[in-house]
Each structure stands twice: as structure tokens, then as C-alpha cells.
Amino acid sequence: MNIEIFLGRFHPLIVHLPIGFVLLAFLMMLWAKRSKSTSFHQAISFSLLLGAASALGSVILGWLLASDGGYDDSTLFWHRWLGIGVALLTIFAWLVNAGKIKASQRVLPATLWVSVILIGLTGHFGGVLTHGSTYLVQYAPGFIQKMLSENATANEDISLPSQPDSIAVYQHLIAPIINNKCVACHNESKKKGGLILTSQEDILNGGEQGEVVMAGDPYESGLFQRVVLPQTSKKFMPPKGEPLTYSEIKLLEWWISGGASFDEKLLDKPLPKEIETLLLKDFHVSVTVKPYYERVAVEPASAESIDKLTAVGFSTKPLSADNNFLQVELTADSPTFQQIEALLEVSEQITWLNLGGKGITDAMLPVIGKLPNLTKLSIEQNEITDEGVQELRKLAHLQYLNLYGTKISDKALESIKEINSLNSLYVWQTDVSQEAIEALNEDRPNLTIDSGFQFENVN
């Protein structure tokens, strides 16, 4: 077995011989034709004989080398059969030239033309097998790379969903690494070490030496251990082809440490800073979701409208120096509907609104429902009921909603459930039941609900 590989590894050395000999015969043929000389006949014959012999040798050694596996199947297919084609054509050319096969004058030149073209193609596929498809043009001038990159890119099978929350860790990050670097030798037909890495089931089944993934412990997992050995180690994976990159190793380590789940999403758990950084660097995935008010821009509110608000008992402050959003708070008690309606003067700009404990009623909430950029609303300790809360369903960007100490009940949660952007909800000291909260939490796991439940139990 090993002797085959030992011999096979001479293939790259001797393949250069037939290339030289056949090319030489081809050039002599062209020259002889041009100078109408017959004195090349013997030399062409000798050159073709050496070409045929070395081509045959190359085919045999190449076959042995390929038996070791680990090459891209379709590239290998073309390289192998084109190479065999070259050997057969060269033998044929020699026989024709030596008069052992009777053929018309035109056959020899035609055969040599085809051989030379096939040699070029075979050599190209051979290069792709050993150096990868990007080797040749890696340092090419930009315009050539651009022309080629429209057809092929190095990472073409890594296509990530554009939204970070739809990225599945195994499917989108881990499987592509394994497919690119391991599956050539670990698949249904080529189970090196008894290990198949093409499906969840096979990965969990492990190889001859047992399991290769120990959920939670990469350092005990063959799948990880093997890729971080010194590259000179016999056990280093992949034994052939490109080793894993630093990012790929880190992703694999993080995936196994986190429990090696096959269906977890990227944002299901907090991401370590390092993973966040490499996702951004290598995959251009940004997982830090900016707050709404940093993603949109509004015109500044006019001084006149701010004055109007102040006149009816509101205080306004800019949210930050970078944008025109406003934080607005009611300072007056028990406002009239008209006072509240004044908010519409700056409806675009209000992003934080505090009306806590000021005698707000259901009748005023339709006004609040018309503030399109509201992200934070405090209306706690007011006489608000389920009916009023219905008006808040239209707040498409609301993230924080404080309803503590209001008159709402379970029914309000039905309206609140429709506010998809919401991530913090305060409902303690209301008639909302623990069951309803649990049901909402099940529907919306990312929504933090503060119900003050434990405090009430203590009382």
C-alpha cells in the first residue's frame, strides 16, 4: 500500500518528460514541413518513442498517486482521462511515424496537434489538482482576476443569509468548512478511517476509533484535535490539500465547545467577541444590531413646534448630538386631550416618551399610536386599560414599553404580541396573569417581561 504512494509521488517529476519529448517531436515536424526536409524523420521517431514510454510511465504513476485519494473528483477525472489520451495518441503517432501503421500523410501532423493541445489541458488540470484553481491567477493583474472572478470565486459554496439572525451555525458555517476540506476523503464511497463527514448522523457515528465530536469539549474531539496538530504529524488533517485557516479552526472550536448543535442559529446564544470579530472579517457578517434611532435619520424639529410643546407642559431634550431625535417628558399633571395632541407637532422626532403617572387615559392613546419613530414608551401608573393598549399595536419600532401599575389584563398581551420590535415589557402590579406571561414568553423568547411576580409572592 505505502509503496504505491511512494512510487506515485514520482508522478509530478516524470510528467515533465513526455511534455518535453512530444513537444520536441511536434516542433521538429513543423520545422521539417517548413524546410521540406526529410532528415528529421529518425529524430522525430526517437523523440516520439521516448515520449510514448514516458507518457505511459506517467499514467501508471499517476494512477498509483490518485489511489491515495483526497483529490477533487471531477478535476481528477479530466486529468486522468486526458493524460491517458495523450499517452495513447503518442503511441499511435510513433507507430504511424515508424510506418507500423499505414496512414495518410496528414495523420501524423493532425495527431501531434491534438496531442499538444491535450497536453496543455492535462497539465492545467494537474495544476488545479495540486495547487487549487486559484493558484495560477492569484498574482495576475487585476483585470484578469476580474474577468475570471465573474465565473468562479474561491468561496462560492459559502453563501450566508444576509440577516445574521437567519444564519444557522452548522449549516452555514461549519458544514462548508468540512465540505471544502474534509469530505473528499470522508464520504460514502471513500470512508478514510471509517469516518463519513457528510451528514449529522455520520458525524455523530464517528470513525474506527469511535466518536469524533464530544459536545462541549473540542480538545477531546478527534474532529478538532486532528486539525490543530503540527502539520508534519502523520495524524494531521487534512493530510493533503489546504489546511484549515485560523478562522475555520476557531469556528470549529467554538461550535464544539458550545455543544456541537446541528440546528442552533447564530444569535441563539451570546457570541464571544473573537467569533464576532472573525465573522465580520472573514464573512462580512455584522452581528451587532444597531438601535433603530441610529439606523434612520429625521429632519430636525422646528423651534416653533418645540416651543408649542413646552407651552403645554412638555420638556424636550435631544436624544444625542448625532441625530435629530427627541426625548420628551410630560411635566404637567392631568393633561387634556389637546395637550397630548400637541405631540403630533414633532411626531417624527419623538423616539423616547415618558408619560408615567400623569393621569393619562385610554382616550389619549390614539395620539401615541401616531408617533412612527417611538422606540421607548413609559406610560406606567396611569388609568390605562386593555382597550387603550390596542392603539399601541401600530408602533412598529417600539422596543421598550412600561405599563406597570396600569389597569391592563391578559387581553392587553394580545395587542402587545403584535409589536414585533418589542424587547422589554414591564407589567408588574397589573391584572396580567403569570400564565399569560409564560404563554407570551414562549411565543417571543427574546422579549424580556418584568412582571414583578416574585415580589408579589413574598408579600
Interacting residues with ligand HEC (CB under 6 A): 69-70, 181-182, 184-186, 192-195, 206-209, 212, 222-223, 226-227, 235, 237-241, 244
Is 68 or 414 the residue whose CB approaches ligand HEC more closely? Answer: 68
Nearest one of 361, 368, 400 to 384, comparing CA atoms: 361
Q: How far is CA 451 from the centre of its chain?
A: 39
Is 212 or 427 the residue whose CB approaches ligand HEC more closely? Answer: 212
Q: How far is the CB of 167 from ligand HEC (least distance, A)?
A: 21
Q: How far is the CB of 212 from ligand HEC (least distance, A)?
A: 4
Is 210 or 259 the residue whose CB approaches ligand HEC more closely? Answer: 210
Beta bridge partners of 326: 318, 350
Sign of CA dihedral 173, 179, 183, 187: positive
Residue identified by cell 400623569 is: 358
Asked if 324 and 301 touch (Cβ cutoff 8 Å), the reply is yes
DSSP single-letter state for residue 327: E
Is 238 or 335 the residue whose CB approaches ligand HEC more closely? Answer: 238
Q: How far is the CB of 181 from ligand HEC (least distance, A)?
A: 4
Element (H, E) at 112: helix 107-131
Q: How far is the CB of 177 from ligand HEC (least distance, A)?
A: 7
Is 123 or 241 the residue whose CB approaches ligand HEC more closely? Answer: 241
Q: How far is the CB of 228 from ligand HEC (least distance, A)?
A: 10
Distance (Å, rounded) from C-alpha 336 to C-alpha 357? 14
Q: What cell does 443 get? A: 411565543
Q: How far is the CB of 71 from ligand HEC (least distance, A)?
A: 8
Is 160 or 182 the residue whose CB approaches ligand HEC more closely? Answer: 182
Angle between helices 73-97 and 16-34 (to 10 degrees): 40
DSSP single-letter state for residue 169: I
Asked if 310 and 332 touch (Cβ cutoff 8 Å), the reply is no
Is 9 or 235 the residue whose CB approaches ligand HEC more closely? Answer: 235
Q: How far is the CB of 191 from ligand HEC (least distance, A)?
A: 9
φ/ψ of 226, rounded to 5, equals -65, -25
